[in-house]
Amino acid sequence: MHLKDKVALVTGAAQGIGNAFARALLEKGCKVALVDQNVERGKASKDAFDKQFEAQRTIFISCDVSSEEKLKDAFKKAFEHFGKLDIVVNNAGVNNEKNWEITVQVNLISVIRGTYIGLEHMKTQNGHNGGVIVNVASLAGLMPVAFQPVYCASKHGVIGFTRSIAMASEAANYGVRINTICPAFVNTPILQSIDKEENMGQYVAYIDKIKDMMEVYGVLEPTLIAKGLIQILEDDSLNGQVMKITTKRGIHFHEYNTAPIETGN
């Protein structure tokens, strides 16, 4: 996809990885709907973008993605404001092992919903031009993480859903490519949640073990994750792919054995 003048909707765009995504898209000439429940940070990030890019190229939409009604409304607002939608990045996520249902709700259910709503606004069958959806998972979607079992489950769910819906999109000729990005640790405010009882619940006792994991994996900068996003958007051959981003190997793709499980693989 050629990115100039494309319209993107990014959830969780007020800070962290989502904010880096928005910046990278603006640098490529896109218009961006910044969707987030944090109104203060959302407005502040629009103000910051306005200093560098034309103000009409962004809109901030206040939205809790865990509400079906509000998420639908956010897509509608973005579509009506910019007149079309080409790119959806379902990025908003939380780390909460204490009130773990919210983790499933935001990280998985809202990503599924964002994908379905995105398809309605982009698929060729509805008279649109197609597009690209990118769902943000994590390396925790590809391996067990002892002290974040529900976060881990939510991210495994994102990968399974994204690979499957990508196949469905291709079979139905929606004209929409759907891929996922799995970063290792990234230097964003979410990392501050790992030593808080209100986020980690019973697992807060294992904070040292999580910090050990950070030492092993290292911590990436959000700009590298944004580089991965741009690569997925620009390469029209990518559908159903799982991009991994790590300190040792940088941006690369997970390779699956695609033979049917029944054959013994």
Long-range CB contact pairs, 159-164, < 8 A, 24+: 159/242, 161/108, 161/111, 161/112, 161/115, 161/135, 162/115, 162/135, 162/137, 162/240, 162/242, 163/240, 163/242
Shortest CB 189 distance to ligand NAD, Å? 4
Residue pointed to by tokens 């990885």: 17
Distance CA 7, CA 173 (A): 21
User: Judged by CB under 6 A, how many residues of this single chain contact ligand NAD?
Assistant: 28
Whether residue 104 contacts residue 150, with contact meaning beta carbons closer than 8 Å, is answered with: yes
Binding of ligand NAD at residue 183 (CB under 6 A)? yes
CA Rg value for the chain: 18
Out of 22, 37, 228, 232, the only residue in the binding site for ligand NAD (CB under 6 A) is: 37
Select 131 or 228, whichever has its Cβ closest to ligand NAD. 228
Given the residues 151, 206, 217, 256, the one annotated as active site: 151
Binding of ligand NAD at residue 131 (CB under 6 A)? no
Select 61 or 122, whichever has its Cβ closest to ligand NAD. 61
Select 128 or 136, whichever has its Cβ closest to ligand NAD. 136
Q: Is 151 a catalytic residue?
A: yes
Shortest CB 14 distance to ligand NAD, Å? 4
Binding of ligand NAD at residue 180 (CB under 6 A)? no
Q: For residue 207, what are the CA distances in angstroms to 100, 107, 109, 197?
A: 18, 22, 27, 10
Out of 7, 10, 14, 178, the only residue in the binding site for ligand NAD (CB under 6 A) is: 14
Q: Which residues of the chain form contacts with ligand NAD (CB under 6 A)? A: 11-12, 14-18, 36-38, 63-66, 91-94, 106, 136, 138, 183, 185-186, 188-191
Catalytic residues: 151
